[in-house]
Every structure is written in structure tokens, then in C-alpha cells.
Amino acid sequence: MPRAKAKCTTCGKPVVQAYRPFCSKRCADVDLSRWLGGSYAIPAVEPPDEWDMAAAIREQDTDPGKLH
């Protein structure tokens, strides 16, 4: 079975080997800008400033409904 042609991860056009996995320098630069700007960041829930690890562990250990 023939291989499927790779598509640019930014715009979907066919990939150009010189810019792989992109089709052009422009699409590579757009992707870099997204990385640097935080567009690809994984959202996280930050604990409160007064978060107490020991208290959180005690709470987890005393709740039989929670699995570890």
C-alpha cells in the first residue's frame, strides 16, 4: 500500500522536505511563534498559595472512597 503524503501541521498543504513537517518557512515560523507565545501550553490547575502537602496527604489517607 502506498504511503500517504504528509501534510503540513500548520496549514494542511503537502510537506516540503526542506521544511519538514511544514510546507514552508512561513508555516514553520507560525508554529514557532505559537510555541513561544504559549499557545501549545498544557493547562494546569495550580494549588492555592497556602497549599499544605502534609494536610493533603492526610486528607487523602483518611478518605476510604479515594483510590491511590
Does the annotation list 8 as a binding residue?
yes
Is 42 annotated as belonging to a binding site? no
Q: Is 27 annotated as a binding residue?
A: yes
11 is in an annotated binding site: yes
Q: What is the DSSP string of the chain?
A: -PPPPPB-TTT-SBP-GGGTTSSSHHHHHHHHHHHHHTTTPPP--PPPTT--HHHHHHHHHH-TTS--
Please enumerate, by residue number, every residue annotated as part of a binding site for Zn(2+): 8, 11, 23, 27
Please enumerate, by residue number, every residue annotated as part of a binding site: 8, 11, 23, 27
